[in-house]
Amino acid sequence: MKIGILALQGAVREHRNALHKLGVETVDVLNPEDLEGIDGLVLPGGESTTMGKLLVRYKLLEPIAELGRKGLPIFGTCTGLILLSKNINGSDQYRIGLMDTFVERNAYGRQLASFEADIPIPALGDEPFHTVFIRAPYIDKVEGTAKALLTYEGKILLAEQDNLLVSAFHPELTDDTRIHAYFLNKIKK
């Protein structure tokens, strides 16, 4: 199994480490040809405006959207969650736009509002997940086949839709690989 990690900018190294821990081969995606032969794709955290622009400039946006529509499993964290959403409140920034989600950017405020907390996530079992939120977005609401996996304080923080998985927090900044493993299960299916 080979997972591509979008490597234009952001927390690439951390996702690579998490996937290697699960025994999976990874490849950095910088150009469209890097998408060939991958079984899944990770969109890491970073700056969503920067990443959106680079996706367009390097002609990656449309190929990734096409692969996603054909069923390639894609996991987006933070920026990745924003890029995968069809709707970004109050913004016309570039996006891949595959999920029936409504996203609020920098929803908690600036860096001083960034936080960490242990939150139970039923889909992952009894042990709470240590979540790290950095200038994080959240999902207001989901439609269609999109489904919330974690709702906390009325905000959707982990969601999936068929082959797609998104989190508002950064599992790659912790040693807990349960969400990465949950994503890999979408490939095995």
Partner 1 sequence: MTDIKKETGTFKVKTGLAEMLKGGVIMDVVNPEQAKIAEEAGAVAVMALERVPSDIRAQGGVARMSDPEMIIGIQNAVSIPVMAKARIGHIVEARLLEALDVDFIDESEVLTPADDVYHILKSEYKVPFVCGARNLGEALRRIGEGAAMIRTKGEAGTGDVVEAVRHIRQVNEDIQRVVSASPMELMTIAKDLGAPYELILKVKELGRLPVVNFAAGGIATPADAALMMVLGCDGVFVGSGIFKSDNPAKRAKAIVEAVAHYKDAKLIAEVSKGLGDAMRGQSVAQMDDKDKLAGRGW
Q: Is 116 near partner 1 (CB under 8 A)?
A: yes
Displacement of CA 17 from its chain's centroid (Å): 16
Residue span binding partner 1 (CB under 8 A) among the ranges 35-43, 63-71, 104-112, 160-168: 104-112
Among 62, 8, 26, smallest CA distance to 183 is for: 26
Q: Is 105 near partner 1 (CB under 8 A)?
A: yes
Other CB atoms within 10 Å distance of the CB of residue 141: 12
Among 58, 33, 42, 56, smallest CA distance to 10 is for: 42
Please give the C-alpha separations between residue 103 and each of 4, 83, 137, 170, in angstroms, as whole numbers. Answer: 24, 10, 7, 16
Residue span binding partner 1 (CB under 8 A) among the ranges 62-70, 101-109, 140-148, 154-162: 101-109
Minimum Å distance from CB 151 to partner 1? 10
Catalytic residue set: 78, 170, 172
- Which residues sit at the interface with partner 1, rule CB under 8 A? 7-14, 30, 45-47, 49-50, 53-54, 57, 78-79, 91, 105-106, 109-120, 132-135, 152, 170, 173
